[in-house]
A and B are shown apart, each in its own frame.
Chain A
Amino acid sequence: MTLNPAQPACNEQQHWQALPQWQTMQHWWQQQNDFALNQLHNELQHQLRENGAAVDPWHTSARQLDLQPWLIASEEWQTLENGISQRHKLLNAVLADLYGPQKLLQHDIIPADVIYLNDHFLLPCVDLVVDQPWLSLFACDVGRNSDGSFCVYNDVSRAPAGLGHVLEHRLAFNHTTTELNTQIKKTQLAGFFRQLQQLLQQPAQSSDQQQLAALLTHQRRDTAYFEHAFLANYLDIALVHGADLMFKSGKLWLKTLSGLQPIHGVLRYLDDNSCDPLELAPASSGCAGMLQGIRQGQLFCANPPGSAVLESGALLPFMAQACQFLLDEPLQLASVNALWCGDSEALNRLQQQPEHFCISHIGSDRQFVLHQLNDQELAACWQQVKQQPQAYIARQILPLSQLPCRTVSGSSELQAGALRLFSLLDHQHNISVLPGALGRTAHDPLILQTELLQGFNQQFNAKDVWVLAEKAHSSSLLHSASNTITLSRQAGLLSSRVADHLFWLGRYNERLNLICRALRAALPLLSGDDPAQGQHDAKALLQFCLQANGADPNPQASVESLLEPLFSGSNPQGLVAVLKNLLFNAQSVREYFGEDTWYVLDRLQSAVYSWPVQPDWQQPALLLRTLDEIILLQTAIYGINSETMTRTDSLRFMDLGQHLERALQTCGLLHSVFCQTTASASLLEALLRMADTLLTYRRRYHSALHPVPIIDLLLLDDSTPRSVGYQCSVLLHQIKKLPPQQLSAGNGLLQGNESQLASELLALLQQTDPQQLFDQMQRPALELSHLLLQLQLRLRQLSDSITLSYFSHIDTHNQWQRF
């Protein structure tokens, strides 16, 4: 092997000059004015999911999708496709050998140390997979060398990051650049995803019956998680965490509200070592028995734990020999120049000419880019390497090719680019390569080759990759996928974790709504004719706003000292905290919402954060407009979901959360208004306005505002949609429709008494005579305060009871215990 000194990068446009499609694209491009291009650019970014509602409101978009696609001519694609197919077949055979007979080690094709020093080589996974592929899903990072030839510089053997992004990018283009789409014919991606779906849902060769499949993800809220949710939704498979699963009778089961459902295929995005706390890392978040399920051939896993041993670049130096040995043919698609430091001659050569190499440790993510080190650092690096040279691999840095990219200002510039390609191996050993790729670009080609992060959590520039076709495939991506596949998602397959999030989503959405309504009623009071009375009245409503999210009553506080914490981003009882909880729960069940809901959540977040840092309370018009918008958007969330959420149980849990919260907070509000202060006529009017019942009141009572009819209307009446009585009757109605419980196998069956609790709440309200809650002077009596506190207590009990009956087995405090 010779070490090539750095060569200049080639330009991708050289390959495009001869393509008529490139001419077409150039032509189209020149026809667009800057304004139109800017609009297209913004539209594309908007299509990317994580640029919508994000947990961190100051989160900048992690990904920019370039308006100009990366073109690959069909002849060149053919070469790439053949090369990837062969590499996939080879690496599948390598894994089967390493976790089986280990002929590669016995014949010294791969030095044993390269495997044994690798932390991703997991002994419990030896002989794990018998009649199934070891590597169903494969990806690799490919870039051009200076001579223009492609070469692989990274193999990905876990479920690959970026697969969802490819799909998302293509959909974004389909929605955005319709004109260009019709002019340039490119291969479609849908077929590949359909095959992936079939692979997961029909794992057994003999069976044609479609079975339940799941995407197993981690519990971090990061962009990778969004990608998983997107992919699961598109493939129509369940998105699950380890806690949603359980092993029984040789199989893996999904815990759902209607009992356990067997899972046959898992698309595994959880780290190898985290999959099974019984046999792998003890503190991991996976499912005990997962390895056993795979071993017994009952669970198909893409890819099985242990497959990550191929990553870290440890095998790059040995790919050509391994190909000859296992497949008896030469390697078609070259690997990047790489060498194993355990070979002392190779190490010597490397030390002579270290400039264009990067050294990485097999067992960790320690990495040295040699030309970035000064003499002292270089000496330290060599010293580390020499302590255990067999644990280091050196890999040449490729120049990569340059291609035109759009900058923020709208001009064009050249950036280095690399491709992540994906392929699939089915049970019949057929390999399909995704006819597209994730294109990534950066100013420095080094970044694309050293930051090989699993989830692409860092910022990067993306390009959609168009493999040019002779003939267009007309069908849209989504249609072609769903037409041929019967949908597997059945009503009742709601996982307990999802139900839990939906319940709290309903609660937080309602909480935010009530706080905003109270604020909307309070602000005009501050700028009214009677400032002293206005402040007094506003304080009652502001007290409610803070108490709604758990703050203690503080009767002495001034208006400013009530408003300030309500809008402080760091206060756990403030508005922002409610919003964050709302978004957290929404994001945890991302896959249950359509595009429209996300659009609304996105807008909702912008609206909350557009609140001025130092608002002018005397000029509330602007603030009121913001509050109007927030309330409108929230109403939209309810509307969209009751129209689009067909899965009845999922909607039911959101509904339960919403009504329970409304009942609870209305009790709190009435307590603030009547029991913590003396309610003036203007405060009573604000209260009715806030509850949208001013007109009802006037129609019904034709009188000035009196406390007794108001309590009757907002507390006891069960026909007013905002009264506590109404909420309780809805709760009872919904609770009666909840699925029977089959889950609580341990500690005796937990008999839910939710229905009884809800009936008791209703009875309590029906038995109350509103006159008795006030004294003869129409002042609130102690009985009112007692009743309101009693109602709040019982509503909280009901919430706890629902949690215990339906969600508690996934309680994060109920961790696996090792003995």
Chain B
Amino acid sequence: MKYNLRHLTQYSYPQPVANSYNVACLTPRQLAYQHVEQTQVDVEPYPSEVQQRTDYFGNTQHFIHLQSPHLQLAVTANSIVRVLPRDNILKIQDGASQEQLQQHLASTRDSMTLQAKLCSNASQLIPLLPEARAIITPMLSDSQNVLQLAQSINQLIFKEFQYDPEFSTVVTPLSEVIKHKRGVCQDFAQLAIACMRSVGIPARYVSGYLETRPPEGQPRLVGADASHAWFAVFDPVLGWVDFDPTNNILADEQHLTVAFGRDYADVVPLKGLLQGSGEHSLTVAVDVAPME
């Protein structure tokens, strides 16, 4: 599938703001299953400085500094992305067993496996929680391989947790999400990761977008989409395999990948600092438009 992707983040301030520093992680990744044909980040008003870099995970991060006073900041990422089918659903049964995975982790130290090891430890937003371990423990069985286990977790979260945009914010701790069984895609991805890591399985956070299809016979609503997040589990042979617990599916042609990280904190789409006080208002508009 080929998409025209547009992600607008807009901040409005009650008083002029000078000196705002931002880091944007909005550029889709070039991957075996995703070809980025065009991509660009625009900042309005014109920034005094923009610097691009590649982080530890290979994500593109933009450093943006606005010096002159402004009442509004708009950061827009425009990309044309072709997503190829991954067909991971067919490969899951060939995945490694828990034992094979641990053997691989203990004996292999290439950079991909090192990254997997990094992603098997607790991270800033995903502490090691006994509650997460309690969720996954009853599901452990010899007959399931690691990817099948991930799929079970995917299914369990989809069934037992309620999608509720009113419940959580970016700072809601994972323990609250588990306690109330509510959250959004970001919470579900981090919950799944917490479960996998609690039994030593490397799992990482994926930020991106999901193409939403309008109901039959109705037109697409422009800008109605949103950022999305899911998780990936490491398999020694297949590499990272992506699961979307919010929709109980494996990520495929409808999922556009922006960045990988240990958790949300590594890949925040736009984070910033400004000196001053007062409330600000935020508008986000995401548009994932199929081009063919």
Contact, CB under 8 Å: A249 / B48: yes
How many CB-defined contacts (below 8 Å) exist between A and B? 97
Which single residue of chain A is at the shortest CB-CB distance from B262? Answer: A123
Interface flags for B252-287 (1: CB within 8 Å of A; 0: not) read 000000000010001000011111110010100000
Q: Is A288 interfacial (CB 8 A cutoff)?
A: yes
Q: Is A106 interfacial (CB 8 A cutoff)?
A: yes
Report chain A residues within 8 Å CB of B53. Answer: 127, 295
> In chain A between 83 and 111, which residues have their CB closer than 8 angstroms to a CB of chain B?
102, 105-108
Report chain B residues within 8 Å CB of A112. Answer: 109, 114, 117-118
Report chain A residues within 8 Å CB of B280. Answer: 819
The number of residues on chain A lying at the interface, defined by a beta carbon within 8 Å of a beta carbon of chain B, is 37
Contact, CB under 8 Å: A105 / B109: yes
Contact A746 to B114, CB < 8 A, known contacts A814-B275, A816-B275: no
Measured between C-beta atoms, what is the minimum distance from B74 to chain A in Å? 13
Interface flags for A472-499 (1: CB within 8 Å of B; 0: not) read 0000000000000000000000000000
C-alpha spacing A296/B49, complex, angstroms: 12
Measured between C-beta atoms, what is the minimum distance from B137 to chain A in Å? 16
The number of residues on chain B lying at the interface, defined by a beta carbon within 8 Å of a beta carbon of chain A, is 38
Contact A746 to B17, CB < 8 A, known contacts A106-B109, A108-B109, A116-B117: yes
Q: Is B67 interfacial (CB 8 A cutoff)?
A: yes
Among the interface residues B53, B65, B68, B271, which one has the most CB atoms of the partner chain A within 10 A? B65
Q: B18-26, B36-44, B91-99, B227-235: which one contacts chain A? A: B18-26
Contact, CB under 8 Å: A126 / B110: no
Report chain B residues within 8 Å CB of A295. Answer: 51, 53
Q: Is B63 interfacial (CB 8 A cutoff)?
A: yes
Contact, CB under 8 Å: A124 / B51: no
Report chain A residues within 8 Å CB of B67. Answer: 248, 745
Interface flags for B80-96 (1: CB within 8 Å of A; 0: not) read 00000000000000000
A-side interface mostly: loop
A814 CB contact (under 8 Å) in B65, B117, B277? B277
Interface flags for A111-134 (1: CB within 8 Å of B; 0: not) read 011001100000110110000000
Q: Is B173 interfacial (CB 8 A cutoff)?
A: no
Which single residue of chain B is at the shortest CB-CB distance from A123? Answer: B56
Q: Is B16 interfacial (CB 8 A cutoff)?
A: yes
Q: Is A747 interfacial (CB 8 A cutoff)?
A: yes
Contact A746 to B118, CB < 8 A, known contacts A249-B49, A250-B49, A278-B21: no
C-alpha spacing A112/B118, complex, angstroms: 8
Which single residue of chain B is at the shortest CB-CB distance from A390? Answer: B121
Q: Is A247 interfacial (CB 8 A cutoff)?
A: yes
C-alpha spacing A296/B51, complex, angstroms: 9
C-alpha spacing A819/B276, complex, angstroms: 11
Contacts A/B (CB < 8 Å), 29 sampled:
A106-B110, A106-B111, A107-B109, A108-B109, A112-B114, A112-B118, A113-B121, A116-B118, A124-B55, A126-B56, A247-B21, A248-B48, A248-B67, A249-B49, A250-B51, A278-B271, A278-B273, A289-B21, A289-B65, A296-B51, A745-B68, A746-B16, A816-B275, A817-B273, A817-B277, A818-B272, A818-B273, A819-B11, A819-B282
Give A contacts to B, CB under 8 Å.
Answer: 102, 105-108, 112-113, 116-117, 123-124, 126-127, 246-250, 277-279, 288-289, 292, 295-296, 745-748, 809, 814-819
Give B contacts to A, CB under 8 Å.
Answer: 11, 15-19, 21-23, 48-49, 51, 53, 55-56, 63, 65, 67-69, 109-111, 114, 117-118, 121, 262, 266, 271-277, 280, 282
5 residue pairs, one from A and one from B, having the closest CB atoms: A746-B18, A288-B21, A126-B56, A106-B109, A288-B273
